[in-house]
Structure 1
Amino acid sequence: MAMLRTSAVVVLHLAVCLAVPLPCEQIVGHLEAEIQRLVWGIEQQHQYIQELHHSQANALQQIPNMHLGQGTFHRDCSDVFAAGNVANGLYAVRPDGSPTALSVYCDMSNGGGWTIFQRRTDGSENFDRAWVEYKHGFGDLHSPDGEFWLGNDALHQLTRDGAHELRIDMEDFEDKKRYAQYQNFKVDSEEDQYQLHLGPYSGNAGDAIASSPPASQQKWTGPGSETGGIQFSTYDHPNHEAATNCIRHDKSGWWFSRCESGNLNGHYYKGPYQAMTEDGVVWYTWHGWWYSVKSVVMMVRAADVEHRPPVLAQLPEQPLQY
C-alpha cells in the first residue's frame, strides 16, 4: 500500500514539474527523502520479522523433554511390527540410548516396520524453517495426511545403532507412483551437522541424490564409499558454499549435494509448475528439474526387521489414539 501511495505521489509531482519546471529540483529532493523513509520502514519490518522468527525458534529449545525409565517402550516401528502390531498409526517409541520418548507414525505396508519422518501432501506446512526447528521437528504428525518433519535429533537417534533402510514414496499429479530405496541409511548427530550417509540404491524413481553431486562436491557416501556424507543445511545454518547457493532459491532445509537434484523439502506447488528457479519438491531423475511432485513420504526401518525377535514392552497393541 505504501509503495502504491508513493507511486501516485511521484506521478503527481512529475506532472507538476512539467507544468512548472522551476521547483523540480526541490520536488525531487522531497521524493528522494520520502523513498528513503519507505526503504527504512521496510528494512525495520524485515528485521522485526527475522527477530520474531528467531525468538520463536529459540523458544523450542526450552521445551522440556519427557524422561523415562528403562524397558518400557519399543525402539522403533520395526520393533512395534515385530511385536505383532500391524496397524498404521501413532506409537510411542524410545530408541536405544535415548532418554526421550518419541511419538512416531508407523507405516506397516511394504514389509512393515517403517517409521515415517517426513510427509508432504498439500503444502499446508511451511518447510522453509530454521535449524532449531528442523532439529526438534514441526508440523502435523497426528493426522494420517498431515505434513511434518519428525526432527533431525530423532532421526539421528533412530539410525545411530545398527543398519537401516531409507524408503521414499512419491506420487505425481497424474496419480503415478514411484519409489527410491537406500541401504545403510544413517544420520549423524548435531555435532556432525546431521550428516547423511547412504548406501546402494534400488527402486524405479531413479537415484536423484547420490548420483548427482558435481566434481567439486564429491563427498557423498555411495556404494562402497568410505568418505563422509553431505551435511544438513538451513537458511540460518548453511554448512558449505554449495548449500548457501541452494538455499537462496530452494528455501528449505536439506542435504544439498546439488540444488536441482533431489530436494523433497522444497516449496510445494499445487501442480506441475513453471518458476524462475527449481525450488519445488523435486526428484529430477523421475520428472526432471521443472516438476514439483504431488506427495512424498520418507521413512526408515531397521534392515533386519524380518528377523528381529519380538521385544516385550508396556505398550498397547493398537496405535495411540488422539
Structure 2
Amino acid sequence: MDFENVAGETYYVTYDEFRISDEWGDYYISSLGTFERSDETIPEWCPAMRYSHETCERTCDDPDTCISANSRTKPEQCVCVGDYLRQQEQCIPLNQCNCFVADKGSVLMVGDFYINSGCTRRSTCQNNQITEASYQCSDHATCAERSGVRKCYCDQNYQGDGVTCRHNCFVADIGSVLGVGDFYINSGCTRRSICQNNQIIEASYQCSVHATCAERNSVRKCYCNQNYQGDGVTCRHNCFVADKGCVLGEGHFYINSRCTRKSTCRNSRLVDESYQCSSHATCYTRSGVRKCYCNDGYGGDGVTCTSLPKDCYELYVSGTRSDGVYTIYPDGWSSGIQVYCEMERNGGGWTVFQRRSSASADFYRGWSDYKNGFGNKNHDHWLGNKFIHSLTNQKRYQLRIDLRDSGSSSFYAVYSTFRINNEADKYRLSVGSHSGNTGYDSLSDSNNKQFSTKDRDNDGSSSLDCAEKHRGAWWFHHRWDCRGYSSAFYCRSYCPGYSYYCYYFPVGSDNCANCTDSNLNGDYDGSTRGTYMLWFSYSLNSYGYSIQYTDMKIRPV
C-alpha cells in the first residue's frame, strides 16, 4: 500500500500474503503475511529520476542487458529513465557513459578534464572516451583545488596553464623576462612594454620627427638623430636651452638668471662653463640679452671690466701721447663719444669741443645741430652742447681758447673753470677767472648767459635777435642799442664816429648795439659788419676782423 502525506512524502507497506473471507465471513482479512514498511530513506540521487519497483534496468557497464529484480536485495530501486543509463549511483546519458571518472565519481563533459590528487595524471573526455595523459606542474606552479577544480596553478607573478608558467614580465618577442623597470620596444617602434610591479605595462610609442627607430647594442628603441638629444620620443637640438625655451644658434650664448653659468653653442654642442661678473659689472637683461654689463665708466665683456677714459686727460695719463680722434666715455654715455684730443701741445690731455680753420663747415645752424654736434672731428666742428654738458659736469675743468689772426700771430685765453648747464637751462655758461695774452677778457660778459641760435633766441631782448643779426650761435647778451635813444651819450658821441663801439652794425646805423664781446661761431669770412668771428681784443688786428683759426678745449683742473 502506498501513502502520501500532505507534504508530498510517499510511504508504502507490504505484506507477503493477503487474504479475505467470503460474504459469509463478512469479507474480513483472514491473512496478511509478513509485514514490511518503507523506513529507509530514498537514495539522494533518485529524485532526479524516479523510485520504482521495476525489475529491469540498463547500466553503463552493460547497456544491452536488463538487470532482473531477483538479482537485487530489494525489490524496489532507483531507475534511470529515457536515454539515461545507470553508472553506480548516477544516471548518465548514453553517449557519456565512457567519460565517467571513478576518482571523481562523476562524468566529464566532452572537452572537460580531471586532474588526479597528485597532479600527475590528466583525464580528458574526447569522443565519449577518457584519454589519460601524464601531467606535471611547472617549477613555478602549485597543485591545488580552487573553486572545485584541481590542477596546477601558476605561482604569484607568473602566468600560464600551470604546466607552463612564465613570469608576468616575460616578453615572447625576445623570449626572455624583463627586469623590474626594464622595457622592450616592438619592431616598428610603435609599442613599449615595461616591467613595473612584476607586471608588463603596455603603452603606445612613437619616435620624434628628429629620431630613428633602430637597434643598437641589442636595444631597439627610438634614437635621436645627429645633433639632437633626448629619449627618442622627445628630441631636442643639442643647443636647446630649457631655461630660454629655444635653440641657440651656432656661436650664440645664454647666461642663466644669476649670471653664474654660460651656455654656448659650439659645433652644434651646448658647452656649459662657469661665469662670474666683474666687481665693476652688473647682471641684467639689455635688449633681450642677459649677461654681465660693465658699469658706467668701465668697459669690457662684463667678466673683465677696465676703467674707461672719461676725457682726453685720462687717455693722456694712461699713456696716449698722439693728437687724434679718440673715444671717451663721459658720465651718462656708456657707448662712448668720439672727440679730438690734443696730446702734443700745451701739456697734453685737452678735449677739443670747437675748431675753426676754414669755411668748410657752416656754423650758422639751429638749436638741434648745436645740441647734437656737427662737422668733422679732425677739422672744423662743434662737439655738441649735450656732450659738452656731460663732460663739464663730471669734473672741474679749465677752458683754453687758442686764436690766430691773419698775420699768423697766436693768442690764447685761459679760464680757471668752465661749465655749461643742461638743456632745460638752455646750456647756461659758467666761467671762472681769465688769464692769457689776448689782453682783454672777451668771454666774461657771456658768463651766466644762456645759449642762443638762429631758431632759439635767449639773449634777453624782446626787440633784438643777436644770433640772427650776427649769423652765429653763442652765449649772447643784449647789453644796449641806440634805437630810439639818439640823444643818449653813447649813441650821440660814439656810435657815429667810433667803430669799436658799434662793431656789430654799420657806423651811424640807428641799430648800433652791443650783444657781446665774443662770437667764435660767426661767419668764417663774413663780409658784412657784425657777422664775422669775433674775439674783442686790443691785441688782435683790427679788433677781430681777421681771425683765421680758433679752437676751444678743456682739461681737468
Please indicate the TM-score interval, normalised by the length of the shorter structure: 0.5 to 0.7
- Residue from 379, 385, 391 that aligns with 1:158: 391
Write the distance in 1 (CA, Å) between the matches of 2:461 and 2:335.
34
Corresponding residue of 2:524: 268
**Is structure 2 residue 456 aligned with structure 1 residue 237?**
yes
**Is structure 2 residue 499 aligned with structure 1 residue 247?**
no
2:355 aligned partner, one-letter code: R
**Is structure 2 residue 533 aligned with structure 1 residue 298?**
no
Q: Write out per-residue CA displacement over residues 67-123 of structure 1, whole angstroms, 9 at most, x where no aligned residue.
A: x84302210001011111111111111112333411011001101110010000011
| Larger helix share, 1 or 2 | 1
Query: Secondary structure of 2:417's partner?
Result: coil
Deviation of the 1:276 alpha carbon: 4.2
Query: Secondary structure of 1:182's partner?
Result: strand
Q: Write out per-residue CA displacement over residues 266-311 of structure 1, whole angstroms, 9 at most, x where no aligned residue.
A: 0011xxx7x44221111111335451300101101111xxxxxxxx
What are the residue-to-residue correspondences of 1:33-48 with 2, within 5 Å?
Answer: none
Structure 1 regions of 5+ residues with no counterpart?
1-67, 214-219, 222-228, 304-322
**Is structure 2 residue 324 aligned with structure 1 residue 82?**
no
What are the residue-to-residue correspondences of 1:174-253 with 2, within 5 Å?
Answer: 174-211=407-444, 213=445, 221=447, 229-242=448-461, 244-253=464-473
Query: Secondary structure of 1:300's partner?
Result: strand
- Residue from 271, 284, 303 that aligns with 2:536: 284
Write the distance in 2 (CA, Å) between the matches of 1:127 and 1:78.
27
The alignment yields a C-alpha RMSD, in angstroms, of: 2.0
Q: Write out per-residue CA displacement over residues 12-70 of structure 1, whole angstroms, 9 at most, x where no aligned residue.
A: xxxxxxxxxxxxxxxxxxxxxxxxxxxxxxxxxxxxxxxxxxxxxxxxxxxxxxxx843
Q: Write out per-residue CA displacement over residues 154-174 of structure 1, whole angstroms, 9 at most, x where no aligned residue.
A: 100110022101000011111
Corresponding residue of 1:102: 337
**Is structure 2 residue 353 aligned with structure 1 residue 133?**
no
1:233 aligned partner, one-letter code: S
Query: Secondary structure of 2:547's partner?
Result: coil
Write the distance in 1 (CA, Å) between the matches of 2:358 and 2:528.
21
| Larger strand share, 1 or 2 | 2
Query: Secondary structure of 1:299's partner?
Result: strand
TM-score (norm 2): 0.37
2:374/2:382 contact within 8 Å kept: yes
Deviation of the 1:206 alpha carbon: 3.1
2:400 aligned partner, one-letter code: R
Query: Secondary structure of 1:233's partner?
Result: coil
2:423 aligned partner, one-letter code: E
2:457/2:465 contact within 8 Å kept: no
Write the distance in 1 (CA, Å) between the matches of 2:452 and 2:440.
21
Deviation of the 1:242 alpha carbon: 4.3
1:268/1:292 contact within 8 Å kept: no
Query: Secondary structure of 2:553's partner?
Result: strand
2:474/2:521 contact within 8 Å kept: yes
1:199 aligned partner, one-letter code: G
Q: Write out per-residue CA displacement over residues 223-255 of structure 1, whole angstroms, 9 at most, x where no aligned residue.
A: xxxxxx111110101113349532232111111
1:137/1:152 contact within 8 Å kept: yes
Deviation of the 1:261 alpha carbon: 1.3
Larger Rg: 2
Corresponding residue of 1:256: 476
Count matched residues. 215
Write the distance in 2 (CA, Å) between the matches of 1:125 and 1:69.
37
Query: Secondary structure of 2:321's partner?
Result: coil
1:235 aligned partner, one-letter code: K
After superposition, the Cα gap between the structure-2 partners of 1:301 and 1:84, relative to the gap in structure 1 and judged at 3 Å, is: same
2:403 aligned partner, one-letter code: M
Q: Write out per-residue CA displacement over residues 181-216 of structure 1, whole angstroms, 9 at most, x where no aligned residue.
A: 1011001111111111000000001344344x4xxx
After superposition, the Cα gap between the structure-2 partners of 1:290 and 1:160, relative to the gap in structure 1 and judged at 3 Å, is: closer
What are the residue-to-residue correspondences of 1:57-76 with 2, within 5 Å?
Answer: 69-70=294-295, 71-72=298-299, 73-76=308-311
Query: Secondary structure of 1:184's partner?
Result: strand
Structure 2 regions of 5+ residues with no counterpart?
1-292, 300-307, 478-513
Deviation of the 1:260 alpha carbon: 5.1
Write the distance in 1 (CA, Å) between the matches of 2:387 and 2:413.
22
- Residue from 338, 354, 363 that aligns with 1:118: 354
2:457/2:466 contact within 8 Å kept: no
- Residue from 317, 328, 334 that aligns with 1:93: 328
Write the distance in 1 (CA, Å) between the matches of 2:324 and 2:370.
22
Identity over the aligned pairs, expressed in percent? Answer: 36
Larger RCO of the pair (alpha carbons < 8 Å, separation 6+): 1
1:260/1:282 contact within 8 Å kept: no
After superposition, the Cα gap between the structure-2 partners of 1:100 and 1:195, relative to the gap in structure 1 and judged at 3 Å, is: farther
1:208/1:283 contact within 8 Å kept: no
After superposition, the Cα gap between the structure-2 partners of 1:101 and 1:292, relative to the gap in structure 1 and judged at 3 Å, is: same
Write the distance in 2 (CA, Å) between the matches of 1:280 and 1:208.
19
1:267/1:279 contact within 8 Å kept: yes
After superposition, the Cα gap between the structure-2 partners of 1:83 and 1:231, relative to the gap in structure 1 and judged at 3 Å, is: same
